[in-house]
Amino acid sequence: MNDFRGKRAAEAANTAGASARSFPEIAHDPGLSRIIQYLFIILFIAMPSHTDSIRLCLLQGPKQARQLVESIGISQPTASRALAALGDEILRIGSGRAIQYALRDPGRGPGSVPIYQITADGTIRRLGLLIPVCPNGFVMQQEDGRSLHSESLPWWLADMCPQGFLGRAYAAHHAAALGLPASLVEWSETHMLRALMAHGDNLVGNLLLGDIARERFIDSPPPSPVDESQYPALAEAAERGDVPGSSAGGEQPKFIAFTGQHVLVKFTAVEDNPVTQRWRDLLAAEHLAAKVLRAAGVPAVSSRLLDITGRRFLEVGRFDRVGLLGRRALHSLTSLEAEFIGDARSPWPVLAARLAAQGIVTAEAAEGAALLFAFGTLIGNADMHNGNLSFVAEAGRPYQLAPAYDMLPMAFAPRSGGGLPVELPPARLHSSIEAATWRQALVLADEFVTRMRQDGNFSASWVQCADALGRHLEDARLRIARLG
């Protein structure tokens, strides 16, 4: 503090001397000149400097130079000099007359985080630097020279953050070592960023955060295939929380593996009881729904159903991976809606249509989203939240619809109290979906129920659910016929 006051006093003395020399009557009177110097020193020390005033102003968030001038009450040249004096403390966002200034926030983790992208051919390139700024935002300094500000973590990182079953398992295993809260729900964005930097080399999508993840990717050998006989041990490890880094969402227990292709593997508990049997049937239904969609030419995940040592496993191909090392950008409807729309309660068809109107996703993607939503409605999928629909980015916008996943009659999922539903409420024929799309979805749903009745992967107790689905479709058929 004394050093600070000394510098301010020296600055004041220099300013006072320059002022005195401008007025001969003061310059020739040593006593008056000294009084002027003392007054300048007192005023400079008592009042915050222009750089301090700018810091205080930018603590509230990025501002344009005009806003700084008006808020602090200084001239444009004075503001420019003060901003220049702040040096690297200040980040510039935008260009020209719209340029904004942001204040770095060293209190939120690292000063800057390099962001890397892995291409479909497995090579890596740097995209830029992510820098925390006051009060809670970030600035992305891109390699092309552009800088973009976000008021929270950038939307394209949302799907990478730990979440769901795997997120809780990750927190249980790694939180203490990272100095983070034990419960995932207590994590802030700063906590998320720390986790992404520490174990972010195999997350959803094609991005890496930080040089540690970059070095791991470069130095790691090609993945070795895992045999399906190892799945029970991997399931036990996942239940203990001992899982490799992944941010795939959802509450179904799961782990990631490489079997010659990159896969996500869901699994049931080993116990033999009605609740576990219902989950076994639901995994069979998810497998069958994907097969029905693919057979009709609707993109859906590849999957394999396995029964090993008392557990059922559903192995699903990852569509954000290409070959051994390649990756593909992936964005959930959750992240796109939050950034570009802000209407989380609307259903898939409405949100996808609005995204298509903005050029964020293709028109074909919006049509595909409507078909999947109609199909899900007809087969009793009561869990079509925005994390269960995603888009892939092959070459920027507009994005393509990702293959369908997590499509199953979740209305039959066990209740939290252990109850096992065997009935479905009437299907709501949402007005945002065209009649032709409902008819197309009805054909797919009919095929789903027909094949379900013939499929040996379902238990005897599932018959009630299959019958309920049949009645559900007959009711929907009558109402779809009235759509014209």
Query: What is the set of active-site residues?
Result: 383
Contacts of 463-472 spanning 24+ positions with Cβ under 8 A: 464/422, 465/281, 465/409, 465/412, 465/422, 468/380, 468/412, 468/422, 468/423, 468/424, 469/379, 469/380, 469/409, 469/424, 471/424, 472/378, 472/380, 472/424, 472/426, 472/427
Question: 3-state SS string over 145-182?
Answer: CCEEEECCCCHHHHHHCCCHHHHHHHHHHHHHHHCCCC
Nearest one of 267, 237, 289, 266 to 452, comparing CA atoms: 289
- What is the per-residue DSSP string for 86-144? HGGGEEEES-GGG-EEEEB-TTSS-S-EEEEEE-TTS-EEEEEEEEEBSSS-EEEEETT
Q: Give the DSSP H or E segment for 437.
A: helix 435-454
Contact 209, 197 (CB under 8 A): yes
Helix (H, G, I), strand (E, B) or coil at 250: coil
Q: Can you state the percent helix, strand and coil of the chain, rounding each to 5?
A: 50, 15, 35
- Nearest-angstrom CA–CA distance, 102 and 149: 9
Q: Which amino acid is at 246?
A: S
- Nearest-angstrom CA–CA distance, 311 and 305: 11
